[in-house]
Structure 1
Amino acid sequence: MDIKAYIESGILELYVAGTLSEKENQEVYELIQQHPEILQEVLEIEAAVVKLTAAVSPHAIDFESFKEKLNTDTKVVDLKPRKPNWISYTGWAASVLLAGGLLWTLNNKNKVEEELQTVSTEKQYLEIQIEEARGDLAATKNLLDAIRNKDIIAVPLGGQGDYAATYAKVYWNKADDTIYLDGEGLPNAPEGKVWQVWSLTLNPLTPTSLGTIDDFNTDDNKIFTIANANESQAFGITLEPAGGSESPTMEQLYTLGVVASAP
């Protein structure tokens, strides 16, 4: 569509004046929604009409004062103030109101659509939160079922040396080679450091890494599921550099606990 040619055709002036048919009005209205250039042209035409309407108003003529300034020998025609064509002005004003009403409708339609979109987005977000909550509840139930299993082995890990105030607890399910580590009694790992979990055999003392807990600081419940296929006799937790260590740093041994059934 040639927007420039359409604007120059004069149909927008007729639209503002309210002289188009209902079908033609609808066509122009739809084009206004689609093309910002047409909307801008309609606004400019309306502004010009309002300015013109405001400029044209009836002014009384002071005939007596005007007459005194004329030569008394001059024949003066008795002039009367010309009445403006109020029907014409009223038509323009009605057209302005009509176009303004259509633009108000357009603006409010956009606002309603935006509000509906906001409601839809909030509804989707709420649904996601509900699903996440359901997932959290299911995970919590599974965890509780696991640590309440009659065959689970609970191993308290007490604080060591300078870190006597710290503590943790391991729930070991030997049937599926899994431990559940409750690290609630450990502080957040400092920047550049991670907690590393160790499986230990005591005679001779042999540590085997069960991995690092990289998301410890951001985890809310501080309970972590860790694979353990070892014949563990004890469990320990040390603070190590990011990425972990091949062997535990004993000066950074925070907690240690012996499995009760160990000899």
Structure 2
Amino acid sequence: MDIKGYISSGILELYLLGELSEMERREVENMAAQYPEIKEELRQLESAMFAFDNKTGVEPSQLTKQKIYKDLGFESPKGSMKTLDTPQDKETSRWKSFAIAAGLAAVLASVFAIYFANRYYATQEEYRVLVLERSVLAEEVEINRARYEQMEEFLAGDFDRIPLEGDAFEIQQDAQVDIFWDRSEARVLASVRNLGVLDPDQDYQLWAIGEDGPVGIGLINATQIGLLQQMDAVTAAGAFAITIEPKGGSETPTLEKLVVLGEVV
């Protein structure tokens, strides 16, 4: 007697496709467990379905394969879960590996470029600071050298000190300037102790006041505090004064802008 006659191939196909109810599935599974012919029929149908799927390009999922083997009571073959690589798959995998390697190389190149760029700019900044420090140091050395030379000349001369004060005038009552005059050599040096900052279009001008009236003997730099500034030669004077004049100085003093005055004793 043909046992398969009790259950049609259509029923078995519906079982494999999961289209049967739970009761119908249990009945098919019981029949497959009792009769080897039905179990073999299920196996052949399952193989045919896999072959059809492979030809159409539809790959059954691993879960579907495992479920079918479990329902039939078969042990899932170790090789059934591995899909053979086609030449196209191998080519795709090779290009993917190349793309990953190229991407990694690009990232590493970017990291190194950023690192060396930062080091370059840091080195440039360190060099700029060093040059600036050396420039400042050289300027300080030059100033100190000039002061030393001035001090040597000052000590070698016979200078009288004439203090110029601004307390008697409204413009800058706290202004203070020292004039050093070597009468025998007609040399005049000015040393600023305190003078206010002027507008860019103005200057301080020093005047030697004698019998013939005030004579301009040079411009005073208010920012050179404590330095000895060389003025024009003076052979005779009864007083010295400083006024605020237009940039570059004037021929005659602007008396309403008198800042300091000091008489020669």
Q: Normalization by structure 1: what TM-score?
A: 0.57
Q: In structure 2, what is the equivalent of residue 77 of structure 1?
A: 50
**1:244 to 2:193 alignment:** no
Choose which of 127, 136, 144 in structure 1 pairs with 2:134: 127
> Displacement of 1:125 after TM fit?
1.6
Q: Any stretches of 5+ residues in structure 2 without a counterpart?
A: 1-15, 20-41, 52-58, 60-80
Show CA shifts across 1:222-250 (max 9, x none): 65321224433321112334443322233
Q: In structure 2, what is the equivalent of residue 168 of structure 1?
A: 177
Structure 1 runs (4+) deviating above 4 angstroms are 78-81, 83-87, 174-177, 220-223
CA distance in 1, matches of 2:17, 2:214: 122
State whether residues 233 and 258 of structure 1, in contact with CA within 8 Å, keep that contact through their aligned partners in structure 2: yes
CA distance in 2, matches of 1:241, 1:177: 27
Q: In structure 2, what is the equivalent of residue 226 of structure 1?
A: 231
Q: In structure 2, what is the equivalent of residue 59 of structure 1?
A: none
**1:146 to 2:125 alignment:** no
For the residue of structure 1 that corresponds to 2:193, the secondary structure is coil
For the residue of structure 2 that corresponds to 1:188, the secondary structure is coil
Show CA shifts across 1:181-239 (max 9, x none): 123233333565432211121xx3521111333x43x4454653212244333211123
Aligned pairs, how many?
Answer: 190
CA distance in 1, matches of 2:102, 2:193: 73
CA distance in 2, matches of 1:93, 1:68: 40
CA distance in 2, matches of 1:246, 1:209: 7
State whether residues 184 and 222 of structure 1, in contact with CA within 8 Å, keep that contact through their aligned partners in structure 2: no
Structure number with larger C-alpha Rg:
2
* Higher relative contact order, chain-length normalized (CA < 8 Å, sep 6+): 1
* Structure 1 pair 207–120 and aligned structure 2 pair: CA distance change class (3 A): same
CA distance in 2, matches of 1:106, 1:144: 56
The structure carrying a bigger helix percent of its residues is: 2
**1:198 to 2:207 alignment:** yes
Letter in 1 for 2:134: E
Q: In structure 2, what is the equivalent of residue 255 of structure 1?
A: 260
Choose which of 183, 197, 219 in structure 2 pairs with 1:188: 197
For the residue of structure 2 that corresponds to 1:139, the secondary structure is helix
Q: Normalization by structure 2: what TM-score?
A: 0.57
Q: What's the C-alpha RMSD, in Å, of the aligned pairs?
A: 3.5
Show CA shifts across 1:151-188 (max 9, x none): 12222223363346443210123465432212323333
Identity %: 19
Q: Any stretches of 5+ residues in structure 1 without a counterpart?
A: 1-66
State whether residues 245 and 254 of structure 2, in contact with CA within 8 Å, keep that contact through their aligned partners in structure 1: yes
Q: In structure 2, what is the equivalent of residue 178 of structure 1?
A: 187
> Displacement of 1:120 after TM fit?
2.0
> Displacement of 1:132 after TM fit?
1.1
CA distance in 2, matches of 1:177, 1:222: 19
